[in-house]
Chain A
């Protein structure tokens, strides 16, 4: 009898132990998965919000440029906020290069809180998808546009309305979505 009681005790412990291990593994997987999730909550934005006007200067020529001079001659515009210090910007860069081949899109780069020299060397290293690159030294233009940070992409139509806002880097699905909208 004593032996059976002892056995029962061990069995109970084992169940407890395996349960504990299972629980730990579960927690680990849950936390590990959520490491890669974005924790930025983006509320449903009002669709087709008009773009705010802004004044800035060109990254390469240092000429003053206003939004009225930029948004004039294309069907669609992609405004991409980027910085040379931003790592996800590098992963999305080749999607932007693809977009730059499309004649119905004009790509505008907004260089966010960056040193001009590092921005220029970034463009030199990875290629220049942008037809215009403007500078946002203190980040105020991005705030006025309603941006969260880098990288961020706005799809704007010829009526100067923001059709789509993408917080974070572009990926395959998002590129497909943008292509669908453009068609």
Chain B
């Protein structure tokens, strides 16, 4: 009898959990977005890390936007309109950031050429 009750309670608990599944997903998405947004009035902190007034309000706004049904990218775009591209930790590729994006590839290629030449000399 006791075992039956135990299992009944267990099943009840587990079945309640699925009710919160959507909420859980939203929370994961929210945290992911908050980690990718720069806290503009803090130094070197994301909104997720910060406890400043700005970050606290930003968390509420992101929460609202998620419940409104906006996707992750839509939220980034929304914030970029308000605060400029600086808000996002992921810089877009444009004429201001081409050096930032192109430099690693360039260095990689130059390094590759150097290594290849060394190898050819050794052979």
Residues of A in contact with B (beta carbons under 8 Å apart): 39-41, 43-46, 49, 52, 112-113, 138-140, 142-146, 148-149
Separation of A38 and B86 alpha carbons in the complex (Å): 17
Q: Is the CB of A145 within 8 A of B82?
A: yes
In the complex, whether B7 has a CB less than 8 A from a CB of chain A is no
Q: Is the CB of B54 within 8 A of A146?
A: no
Q: Is the CB of A139 within 8 A of B84?
A: no
What does DSSP make chain B's interface, helix, strand, loop or mixed? helix
Separation of A39 and B43 alpha carbons in the complex (Å): 8
Annotate B30-73 by CB proximity to A: 1 below 8 A, 0 otherwise. Answer: 00000000001101000000000110111011001000000000
Separation of A45 and B40 alpha carbons in the complex (Å): 14
Separation of A46 and B83 alpha carbons in the complex (Å): 9
Q: Is the CB of A143 within 8 A of B40?
A: no
Residues of B in contact with A (beta carbons under 8 Å apart): 40-41, 43, 53-54, 56-58, 60-61, 64, 81-86
Residues of B within 8 A of A49 (CB): 81
Residues of B within 8 A of A40 (CB): 40-41
Q: Is the CB of B41 within 8 A of A143?
A: no
Known: A39-B43, A40-B40, A40-B41. A146 touches B57 (CB 8 A): no
Separation of A146 and B54 alpha carbons in the complex (Å): 11
Kindly identify which residue among B53, B61, B85 contacts A144, using a CB–CB cutoff of 8 Å.
B61
Separation of A43 and B84 alpha carbons in the complex (Å): 7
Q: List 28 A-B contacts (CB under 8 A).
A: A39-B43, A41-B86, A43-B84, A43-B85, A44-B84, A46-B81, A46-B84, A52-B82, A113-B53, A113-B57, A138-B60, A139-B53, A139-B56, A139-B57, A140-B57, A140-B60, A143-B54, A143-B58, A143-B60, A143-B61, A143-B82, A144-B61, A144-B82, A145-B82, A148-B41, A148-B54, A149-B53, A149-B54
Residues of A within 8 A of B58 (CB): 143
Count contacts between A and B, CB distance < 8 Å.
48
Q: Is the CB of B40 within 8 A of A148?
A: yes
Known: A39-B43, A41-B40. A143 touches B85 (CB 8 A): no
Separation of A122 and B49 alpha carbons in the complex (Å): 33
- Chain B nearest CB: distance from A77 CB in Å? 18
- Contacts A142-B57, A148-B41 known; list 13 others, CB within 8 Å: A39-B43, A41-B40, A41-B86, A44-B84, A46-B84, A112-B53, A138-B60, A139-B53, A139-B54, A140-B64, A143-B61, A148-B40, A149-B54
